[in-house]
């Protein structure tokens, strides 16, 4: 106790004096120098993002397929519209990039909104139902809801419909 208290006081004084000795080599903040920003020659881009030559995410086509079974469809009202939330079970584990895509080009009644629950699905083993469950949602405004009487969500094996 007699030796530790003076050592702690000396260490505290030495560390606090580093703030006064800004440009000294004793100050540990000066050991590596200050960071300086430099611009990369050519284009200003983030060096941590890898360059991809000849490939653009926007150029690829959409290879998502419908989810096997739709298990739940809820429409929750909120100020300014509603949220359509859909739950489904994919055929295999590992479904990602899940979305509700509106169906266009097919004869859909004017008072109906039809969606397809799609996802990128890997060729993974079949797991439990809980591990294959996916959820997606979309927002509808009050203007869109005024025209609608029913909402349908299409899956690979079934269709769920909700009506007003």
Residues 6+ apart with CB under 8 A from 40: 47
Question: What pLDDT, on a 0 to 100 scale, did the predictor assign at position 40?
Answer: 44
Question: What pLDDT, on a 0 to 100 scale, did the predictor assign at position 122?
Answer: 80
- The alpha carbon of 141 is separated from its chain's Cα centroid by a whole number of angstroms, namely 22
Measured CA to CA in angstroms, residue 1 lies from 10, 11, 17 at distances of 14, 15, 25
Per-residue pLDDT tens, the chain, 164 aa: give them. Answer: 678 888 888 887 777 665 566 666 666 666 555 545 455 455 556 666 666 655 555 556 778 889 989 999 999 988 998 999 999 999 888 888 999 999 887 788 888 899 999 998 888 778 888 889 999 999 999 998 888 888 988 888 888 988 87
Q: Where are the alpha helices (DSSP H) in 18-141?
A: 129-132
Q: What is the pTM of this model?
A: 0.61
Question: What pLDDT, on a 0 to 100 scale, did the predictor assign at position 149?
Answer: 87
Question: What pLDDT, on a 0 to 100 scale, did the predictor assign at position 8?
Answer: 85
CB 29 within 8 A of CB 18: yes
Question: What pLDDT, on a 0 to 100 scale, did the predictor assign at position 87?
Answer: 93
């Amino acid at each position: 106790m007699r030796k530790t208290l003076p050592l702690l006081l000396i260490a505290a004084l030495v560390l606090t004096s580093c703030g006064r000795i800004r440009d000294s080599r004793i100050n540990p903040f000066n050991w590596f120098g200050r960071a300086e920003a430099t611009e990369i020659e050519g284009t200003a881009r983030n060096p941590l993002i890898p360059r991809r030559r000849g490939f653009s995410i926007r150029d690829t086509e959409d290879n998502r397929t419908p989810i096997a079974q739709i298990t739940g469809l809820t429409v929750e009202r909120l100020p300014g519209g509603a949220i359509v939330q859909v739950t489904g079970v994919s055929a295999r584990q590992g479904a990602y990039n899940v979305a509700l895509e509106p169906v266009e080009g097919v004869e859909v009644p004017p008072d109906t909104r039809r969606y397809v629950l799609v996802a990128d699905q890997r060729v993974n083993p079949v797991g439990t139902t809980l591990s294959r469950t996916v959820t997606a949602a979309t927002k509808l405004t009050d203007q869109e809801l005024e025209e609608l009487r029913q909402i349908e969500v299409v899956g690979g094996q079934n269709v769920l419909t909700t009506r007003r």
